[in-house]
Amino acid sequence: METEEIKLEGYVLTHEGKVRSNNEDNYSLFGKIKEDTTQNQAQSYDHVQGEMFAAGIYDGVGGEEDGEVASLIAAKSIQACPLENVLSEAMKQLQEANRKICELNQRNGLFMGSTAAQIYFSKGSAICVNLGDSRGYFFRDGRLLLLSKDHSEGQRMIDMGIVTQEEARKSRNWHVLTQYLGIDPKEFLIEPYFSDEIILKKDDLFLLASDGLTDMMPDEELRKVLHVSSRKDLKSISEELFTGAMQNGGKDNITIMMVRVL
């Protein structure tokens, strides 16, 4: 891009889905967060201009054991930073969220945790960082690129060549996480995945999503929706993706965040 300033618009929606009675997901859209953990449905739109921004979505783990509390802690941890510092700063932010979640677990005898999928924007570029199986995507010129890497037993089996993607999706291990916020640092160190740096262009689209969307809509379905609808407003695109997830079962909480480069 020509200047160091970035102009972005973002939209996020979160919903409990068809099956779950509560919504353990949360988000941070340029600093806007779902503060009320009892709120099952929420949406937010923002338009920003400046040198650096950050956005993320978080899928709480723990069911009745307050997964929504863990995802709120995670959402509050993200802060914008220059991309030259993103490796260290993102790690510090995630470690701090991990520490707070672990302290609550130990104090209250709970098991709760959260995934994280985050995008940092700075000086005309962006980097995606993730932990767990919430995902980040990049869409440009009809092509959809997965920026994140699932931290799950299912993905591990795919990487080892034991099963195919289709077989892994049907496996009980598909959702067994190997990385997430809430891991006791004395037992295991968190190791977030960092994408390659993306040089931004006008009309680039970024999608962050919990597995409530990506389990219900494979990547090719996501690409088709974005290919047809990429020029629409972000609310309309998000609602089309949400409708697809609900029509395909809506078996989990659904959080969809879209960011467009203006």
**Which DSSP category does 181 fall into?**
B
Determine the pLDDT at residue 165.
78
> Which residues, given as ranges, of the chain have pLDDT below 70?
1-3, 63-65
Over residues 67-81, the pLDDT tens digits come to 999 999 999 999 999
Q: Could you give the C-alpha distances from 190 to 76, 182, 185, 198, 225, in angstroms and in order?
A: 18, 9, 8, 24, 34
Predicted pLDDT of residue 1: 42
The per-residue pLDDT for range 31-44, each reduced to its tens digit, is 999 999 999 999 99
- Summarised one tens digit per residue, pLDDT across range 179-213 is 999 999 888 899 999 999 999 999 999 999 999 99
Q: In this predicted structure, what is the pLDDT of residue 2?
A: 45
Name the residue among 55, 113, 5, 84 with its Cα closest to residue 234: 55
Q: Contact 30/12 with Cβ under 8 angstroms?
A: no
Domains for the chain: give ranges and CATH numbers.
6-261 (3.60.40.10)
What phi-psi label fits residue 245: left (phi over 0), alpha (psi between -120 and 50 degrees) or beta? alpha
Burial (CB count within 10 angstroms: exposed 0-12, middle 13-18, buried 19+), residue 64: exposed
